């Protein structure tokens, strides 16, 4: 009969002396200090300065001569009859560009998720619109959408039901669809690449199990694919929404906010008031409204994220 000897559990390591802990904490703070300082310089300071300017009557020609004006800028802004239209245009542009980018990006991701020859080349080509500078993109589309010599009108007139050229960027009813289309072309590759990564992270066993249960393609998409990519879709929606609130160069170069304020978003109006009308204080108040909208979008994101977590159990 042999006796088994159990190894005694290892004694816990003694806690580090207070001096060691202090040195470790100081070293950690030293490591993160540059990042904290950088964030304070590029994020916190402009935000605080913009908030301060919104309560002054500062003019661009006399940036240091502004005096405290209280809520005058906000009172003038909310009394402006154009504000309702500006907010509506901003909402339409944001929703249309975000939904369009997500839908086309998802379709492109589903196509690229299927194995076929040349898939790597297609992925490389797909990144070109996203990598292209915004100014270059706008200038190319200005030529393509030209009402007299644009290639877009020429191509459309080849169709049997189109017999005249369209004034894409000069017609109030067509300017917003044109700007949204250019924005979607520029942004959807980012959504496609992110969604492709999410699709490839879904375990293949889940699809195989759904096939064994004889689930249709639509049911597999609803029950397996969508829950798997829901966190990425939600995060993309948040990023694209905030970027749409802040987008300036594409809209300004294509239409300048016109015609007849048909594409005049908050950022376009902020630029006009701050640098065209030279009212930095009033323009800062407009910027604060845009900041509030971005915060509201973030709140919606976190609320929806919690609901998804409760529904799917693993979504965060």
The burial of 270, by beta-carbon neighbours within 10 Å (0-12 exposed, 13-18 middle, 19 or more buried), is given as buried
Domain contains 37: no
Domain span holding position 149: 72-312
Look at residue 27 and tell me if it is in a domain.
no
Residue 12 lies in a domain: no
293: closest CA among 255, 262, 257, 266? 266
Tokens standing for residue 144: 């393509």
**Maximum mean pLDDT: which of 11-15, 31-35, 214-218, 304-308:** 31-35
CATH code (residue 278): 1.10.3720.10
The pLDDT tens digits of the residues spanning 48-100 come to 889 999 999 988 888 787 888 989 999 999 999 999 999 999 999 999 999 99
For residue 271, being part of any structural domain is answered with yes
Q: How many helices (H) and strands (E) does the chain have?
A: 14, 0
Domain assignment present for residue 18? The answer is no
Domain assignment present for residue 247? The answer is yes
List, for residues 236-293, the tens digit of each pLDDT value.
999 999 999 999 999 999 999 989 999 999 999 999 999 988 999 999 999 999 999 9
pLDDT one-digit tens code per residue, 206-223: 877 888 877 777 888 888
- Counted domains in the chain: 1
Neighbours of 132 (CB within 10 A): 14
- pTM value is 0.83
Whether 56 maps to a domain, the answer reads no
Q: How far apart are CA 218 and CA 225, in angstroms?
A: 10
């Amino acid at each position: 009969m042999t006796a088994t000897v159990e190894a005694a559990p290892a004694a816990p390591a003694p806690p580090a002396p207070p001096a060691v802990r202090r040195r470790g904490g100081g070293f950690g703070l030293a490591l993160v200090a540059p990042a904290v300082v950088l964030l304070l310089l590029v994020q916190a300071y402009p935000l605080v300065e913009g908030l301060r300017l919104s309560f002054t009557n500062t003019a661009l020609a006399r940036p240091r001569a502004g005096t405290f004006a209280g809520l005058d800028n906000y009172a003038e802004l909310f009394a402006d009859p154009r504000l309702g239209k500006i907010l509506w245009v901003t909402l339409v542009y944001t929703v249309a560009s975000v939904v369009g980018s997500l839908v086309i990006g998802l379709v492109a991701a589903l196509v690229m998720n299927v194995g076929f020859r040349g898939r790597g080349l297609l992925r490389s080509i797909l990144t070109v619109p996203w990598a292209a500078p915004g100014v270059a993109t706008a200038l190319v589309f200005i030529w393509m959408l030209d009402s007299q010599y644009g290639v877009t009108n020429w191509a459309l007139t080849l169709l049997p039901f189109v017999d005249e050229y369209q004034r894409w960027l000069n017609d109030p009813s067509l300017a917003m669809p044109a700007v949204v289309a250019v924005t979607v072309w520029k942004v959807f590759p980012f959504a496609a690449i992110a969604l492709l990564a999410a699709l490839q992270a879904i375990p293949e066993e889940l699809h195989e199990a759904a096939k064994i249960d004889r689930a249709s393609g639509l049911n597999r998409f609803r029950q397996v694919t969508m829950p798997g990519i829901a966190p990425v879709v939600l995060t993309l929606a948040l990023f694209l929404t905030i970027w749409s609130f802040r987008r300036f160069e594409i809209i300004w170069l294509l239409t300048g906010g016109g015609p007849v304020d048909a594409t005049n978003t908050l950022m376009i109006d902020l630029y006009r008031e701050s640098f065209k009308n030279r009212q930095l204080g009033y323009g800062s108040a407009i910027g604060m409204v845009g900041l509030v909208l971005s915060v509201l979008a973030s709140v919606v994101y976190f609320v929806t994220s919690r609901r998804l977590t409760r529904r799917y159990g693993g979504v965060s």
